[in-house]
């Protein structure tokens, strides 16, 4: 199969492919098939754009099911849009394949489109090459009303630090990949992260700063603290854990949340008043939000990030994942 029929067979979906009046997706004047796609962004919006590469054996285990590889490649990119407060719109996919195995490609495409369909996102283009290692680079595009993006720079002294859902499940799954007893709910936290797009969007005009946690809470929160030039305190006893991780000792589970990776939950800062207001309107959703700490002044005397367990210093390796160490 040459690359053109491969693209046509697996990635070009009729409803998205041509400029047509019945395109299910507004804002796309031209999708897959020409040298480039054409988008028509809504007036008074900014384009939000982000890209992330997933390499086999580095970002996902080599034996990850192809559906999950496709899902995760899209999910981690949509998660970056969520972390800005954006509405996701479309993606591009640059794919490097060792071989064109039809079964693999069909399942990969299924995983990609499952997530796209869940968030009304279209695949509008990409690139397909042969290479020794399977790799997927997704570029995600979204919109946000001009000036409303939630940046890392806005955290204020007195703000609460809040995270969505539970932390550490994916890191636990990664550590226990070869354990046949590994719970499937933990495995799916690793293989099928859920981009928190509804939450991110709802937090516009509420959160003062936000990011998605991909490389461990301590390192990622550190990015907000540095960018906003403030300090933060987190309380280990407040970190949200799934029932399965809650059964472990604090010494076991805290490092999974603080320096594990692959959570793809949102971490944001917000004033106490705004958080009270936001909780009222977020109550209808079953995605839990947990206050885990607060923003304080950064002085020459305090650490950028203080981690305490019942008011005692809690020592943990706060280095999250880094590619070049
Ligand atoms: P060009 O040579 O002009 O870069 P290509 O032959 O690489 O174009 O691609 C043809 C069309 O197919 C383009 O619209 C491109 O965006 C799209 N495309 C290529 N690979 C993929 C892919 N993996 N997923 C989605 N669209 C793709
Ligand atoms: Mg061309």
**Atom 16 (ligand 1): residue with closest C-alpha?**
125
| Protein residue with its CA nearest to atom 27 in ligand 1 | 126
For ligand 1, atom 10, which residue shows the shortest CA distance? 33
Distance (angstroms) between ligand 1 centre and the Cα of 6 equals: 10
Q: Tell whether ligand 1 has an atom less than 6 A from the beta carbon of residue 7.
A: yes
Bridge partners (DSSP) listed for residue 213: 265
Q: Hey, which of 125, 129, 137 would you mutate to test ligand 1's pocket, going by the most ligand atoms within 8 Å of its Cβ?
A: 125
Whole-angstrom CA distances from 269 to 56, 161, 201 are 34, 5, 15
- With a 6 A CB cut-off, is 125 part of the ligand 1 pocket? yes
Compute, in angstroms, the gap from residue 125 CA to the centroid of ligand 1: 5
Q: How far apart are the first and last CA of the chain?
A: 40
The Cα 116–Cα 96 span in angstroms is: 20
Length of the chain: 325
Q: Partners of 279 in the beta sheet?
A: none
The pick from 70, 95, 127 for probing ligand 1's pocket by mutation, whose C-beta has the most ligand atoms within 8 angstroms, reads: 127
**Which-ligand-closest: CA of 127?**
1
Of the candidates 167, 160, 264, which has an alpha carbon nearest to the alpha carbon of residue 212?
264
Q: Is the pTM of this model over 0.75?
A: yes
Which atom of ligand 1 is closest in space to residue 32's alpha carbon?
14
Q: Is 127 in the pocket of ligand 1 (CB under 6 A)?
A: yes
Q: Which ligand is nearest to the CA of 16?
A: 1
What is the best residue among 12, 31, 32 to mutate for testing ligand 1's pocket, by most ligand atoms within 8 Å of CB?
Answer: 32
Task: Name the packing angle between helices 102-118 and 66-82 (round to 10°).
Answer: 30
> Which pLDDT value is given to residue 16?
47
Give me the tens of pLDDT residue by residue for the chain, a chain 325 residues long: 888 899 999 999 865 444 444 444 689 999 999 999 999 999 999 999 999 999 999 999 999 999 999 999 999 999 999 999 999 999 999 999 999 999 999 999 999 999 999 999 999 999 999 999 999 999 999 999 999 999 999 999 999 999 999 999 999 999 999 999 999 999 999 999 999 999 999 999 999 999 999 999 999 999 999 999 999 999 999 999 999 999 999 999 999 999 999 999 999 999 999 999 999 999 989 999 999 999 999 999 999 999 999 999 998 866 666 666 6
> If we measure between CA atoms, which residue out of 235, 217, 213 comes closest to residue 292?
235
Atom of ligand 1 nearest to the CA of 94: 23
């Amino acid at each position: 199969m040459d690359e053109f029929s491969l693209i046509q067979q697996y990635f070009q979906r009729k409803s998205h492919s041509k400029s047509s009046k019945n395109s299910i997706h507004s804002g796309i004047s031209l999708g897959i098939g020409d040298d480039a796609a054409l988008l028509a962004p809504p007036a008074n919006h900014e384009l939000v754009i982000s890209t992330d590469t997933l390499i086999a054996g580095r970002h996902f285990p080599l034996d990850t099911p192809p559906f999950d590889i496709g899902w995760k490649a899209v999910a981690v990119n949509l998660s970056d849009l969520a972390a800005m407060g954006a509405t996701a719109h479309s993606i591009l996919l640059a794919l490097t394949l060792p071989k064109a195995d039809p079964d693999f490609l069909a399942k990969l495409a299924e995983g990609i489109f499952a997530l796209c369909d869940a968030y009304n996102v279209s695949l509008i283009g990409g690139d397909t090459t042969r290479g020794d290692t399977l790799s997927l680079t997704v570029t995600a595009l979204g919109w946000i009303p001009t000036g409303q993006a939630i940046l890392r720079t806005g955290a204020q002294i007195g703000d609460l630090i809040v995270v969505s859902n539970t932390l550490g499940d994916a890191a636990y799954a990664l550590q226990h990949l070869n354990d046949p007893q590994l719970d499937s709910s933990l495995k799916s936290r690793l293989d099928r992260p859920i981009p928190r797009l509804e939450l991110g969007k709802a937090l516009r005009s509420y959160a003062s700063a936000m990011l998605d946690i991909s490389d461990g809470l301590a390192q990622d929160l550190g990015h907000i603290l540095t960018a906003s030039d403030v300090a933060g305190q987190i309380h280990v006893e407040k970190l949200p854990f799934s029932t399965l991780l809650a059964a472990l000792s604090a010494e076991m589970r805290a490092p999974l949340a603080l320096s594990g990776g692959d959570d793809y939950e949102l971490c944001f800062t917000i004033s106490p008043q705004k958080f009270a207001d936001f909780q009222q309107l977020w109550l209808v959703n079953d995605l839990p939000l947990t206050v885990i700490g607060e923003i304080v002044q950064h002085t020459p005397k305090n650490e950028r990030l203080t981690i305490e367990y019942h008011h005692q210093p809690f020592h943990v390796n706060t280095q999250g994942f880094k590619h070049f160490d």
